Amino acid sequence: MGSYRLTWRPLAGGHLAIGHKPGRDLRQALAETGCTHVLSLLADHEAGVPASGVQLRLPLASAEPPGPERSAEVRACFAELQGLLAGGAKIYVHCSAGLHRTGMVAHGLLRYLGLGPAEALARLGELREATAQAATEPRLRWGEQFAADEPG
C-alpha cells in the first residue's frame, strides 16, 4: 500500500475515515482499502483531482460554522450518509487540511447518528487525533443542532 495510512472505524453498519484533501498516496490508499464514497467539504475553487469512490459534496467556503440557512442541506447530507453507512459503505470525509471543516462535519454526523457529546468527541479522536484537537467549541456547538433525539 502507498505511504498514507488510513484509520477506518466502524460506524452505523459501515466505516468512516477522515483526513485531508487526497493526494496521490492517499488516493491510492483509499482505493486499496475499499473506500466506496468520498465526501468532499472543499469549496468549488478548492476542488482538485477526485479520489476513488462515489463523490459526494457538501461545499463549505470556510472553517466557520455554516449559518442556519444551510442546516436543511447538512441534515439531508447526514441522512444520505446514514443510509450509505447502513448499507456497509466505507466513507472518507475531507476538507483541505482535514482539521476544521472535517472535524466540525464529522462531529455533527456522529451526533446525528446518536452518539452522545463525549462519545462523539472521543470517536473523533479515534478517527484522527489532530482533527479532534482542532475541534473548537463553536464548531462542536454547531454540530449539536444535528444531535439525534436523546432519551430524556
Tens digits of residue pLDDT in 9-29: 999 999 999 999 988 889 899
Domain count, the chain: 1
Residue listed under C-alpha cell 462519545: 119
Q: What SS3 state is found at 69? A: helix
C-alpha cell read off for 28: 491510492
Assess if residue 4 is contained within a domain.
no
Assess if residue 117 is contained within a domain.
yes
Tens digits of residue pLDDT in 119-149: 999 999 999 999 999 999 999 999 999 998 6
Assess if residue 2 is contained within a domain.
no
Assess if residue 1 is contained within a domain.
no
Confidence class for position 52, pLDDT limits 50, 70, 90: low
Q: Which CATH number covers residue 108?
A: 3.90.190.10
What range does the domain containing 55 cover? 9-61+69-143
Assess if residue 32 is contained within a domain.
yes
Assess if residue 17 is contained within a domain.
yes
The identity of residue 96, as a single letter, is: S
Assess if residue 150 is contained within a domain.
no
Question: pLDDT value at position 23?
Answer: 86
Dihedral of the alpha carbons of 108, 26, 126, 83, in degrees to the nearest 10: 40
Tens digits of residue pLDDT in 55-110: 899 999 999 999 999 999 999 999 999 999 999 999 999 999 999 999 999 999 99
Q: How far apart are CA 23 and CA 29, in angstroms?
A: 10
- Strand residue runs (E) in 12-143: 14-19, 37-40, 54-57, 90-94
Q: Is the pLDDT of residue 30 over 50?
A: yes
Q: How far apart are CA 16 and CA 10, in angstroms?
A: 6
Question: pLDDT value at position 50?
Answer: 62
Q: Is the whole-model pTM more than 0.75? A: yes
Assess if residue 135 is contained within a domain.
yes
